[in-house]
Amino acid sequence: MVASLAGAQALIRVIPDYPKVGIQFQDITPLISDADGFAVVTAALSDVDRSAQLITGIEARGFIFAAAVAAHSHRGFAPIRKAGKLPHHVHSENYGLEYGTDTLQIHQDAMGFGVQTLLVDDVLATGGTMKAALKLIQRTGGVISSIAVVMELTELGGRAAIAQEFPNVKITSLFTI
């Protein structure tokens, strides 16, 4: 039985050289398949910002945690998805990847003007995806109350990259690697 964040973190396994040589992939599947570990992480993420009225999450692994946080804390959930997957009017934001660009989208009516939003994701790496998500939340009229991530890969500098454009947004990481 996992009863602490340290116990939950121990469930994350490292897969060397995935998806390419030199990458130490942090595999969350053992964590989310352990009911107690998943519950501990969900509760901790839920407590990051109780003032937020809405939880947003980024496709794909961020959905797992964001939806669980929304259900656990009795708040709504607004998805931020890859391009072409939302059926109604959307805002779009392009962002850079290591080898190209990608696009995130959110429904234009995902939240009302001034709604305090907690952005939840599985990992903070370089910050590019997170910055695109933050821009989308702003376009809907939402207010970014804070960011909560399961793990932060500190050597990739995502926190600093976000702070350059969003200096007042608080970032909470349950685990740093």
Tokens of 37: 């570990």
Residue 100 β-bridge partners: 97
b/e code 51-79 from CB counts within 10 Å (16+ = b): ebbbbbbbbebbbbbbbbbbeebebebbb
Helix, coil or strand: residue 60: coil
> Is-catalytic flag, 98?
yes
Helix, coil or strand: residue 35: helix
Smallest CA-to-CA distance from 75 within 137, 120, 134 is with 120
The C-alpha angle 104, 107, 113, rounded to 5 degrees, equals 115
Catalytic annotation, pick one of 13, 59, 75, 98: 98
Tokens of 98: 């290591």
Catalytic annotation, pick one of 59, 61, 75, 139: 61
> Is-catalytic flag, 13?
no
HSE-CB of 25 using CA atoms within 13 angstroms: 10
Residues with catalytic annotation? 61, 98
